[in-house]
Structure 1
Amino acid sequence: EGLPFRLIGSTGRDLFVTDDRDIDLAAIVNAPPTKVPLDATIRAHWLVIDGEQPAVPENPTPLLEEDPAVSSTAEGAEAIDFGPTILSQAGRAVRKTEQVQIKTMATHALSVEQQLFFKEITEAIMGSDDARRTEALHSLQTDAG
C-alpha cells in the first residue's frame, strides 16, 4: 500500500502506473517566448605557451610554485625532489633559441585489409559514381570498424 503505483486494467496484464500531476498547456502556449541563444561560436586559446600556462579566463588558475622540496636522508645527505617544478625551472634556464622540439615520426602498420579498404573508399569518394560515393560514405558513417 505504500507504493506510489496503482494497478490499472484487468485484461490479463498487470499494468502499474503512477499518478502524475496535470500540466496546463494553455499556460505554456500563452507564455512569452524565451530568448533565443546567440549563434554558436568557436574560439581557440592556448593552453600552454613555451611551457607556461597563460593567465586567461579559459584556463584554470595555476597553483603557486613552491621551492623545490629538499629532504635529508638518514646519512645526512640531501636529495632533491625532481618533480615538475625542477623540470620547468630547468626548461626556463635554456635560451629560447636553443629549445627545439623534435617529434619522431610514428609509423603505423596497416594490415592488407585496411590498406585495401582505404584504397576502395578513396576511389569511391573521389570517383564520379554517385551511388558508389553514397555507399562509401554510408559505410564510413555506420560501420563500427
Structure 2
Amino acid sequence: MKRVTVVSALVLLAVGCGQVPAAPRASGVEGTTVVDGGCPPARDAPPCPDEPLAAELRVTRAGSDEAVVTVTSGEDGRFRIALAPGDYTLHAANLAGTPLPVAQPVDVHVDANRFATVEVSFDSGIREAPTPPG
C-alpha cells in the first residue's frame, strides 16, 4: 500500500509541475470508398446516387510501388489509416477481384497532427444508353 501511495504522489507531482508530456496527435488519411449508383440514368431523371463499397486500399509513398500498409474499408465504405506526415497514393481494388468496378489511384498529402479526408470513387462501368436517332 505504501508503494502505491508513493507512486501516486510522484504522478501528481509530475502533473502539477507540467512534466507529463501531452499525448501526440495522430496523422493519416480517412474517408470513404464509393461506387457510382450502378444504374443507367434516364434522360430526364437525376443520376443514381453513389453507394458505399467495401474495398481494399493499398497505400504507397508517392512515386513508389512498395506498399506502406494495406487495409480494407468497412461495409459502409469508411476507412481511417494512421500515417506519418508525407505524400502518399491510395490504390483501391474491389474485393470481388473483377475488372469492374474500378478506381483510379488517389494522391493525398498528410500533414502532421491531421487526418486528410478523401473519397475514393469507383466506376461501375454502367453508362447511359445512347439516344436513338430520330
TM-score by length of structure 2 reads: 0.21
User: Higher helix share goes to which structure?
Assistant: 1
Q: Which has the larger radius of gyration?
A: 1
Tell me which of the two structures has the higher relative contact order, counting C-alpha pairs closer than 8 angstroms and 6 or more residues apart. 2
What TM-score results when the alignment is normalised by the length of structure 1? 0.20
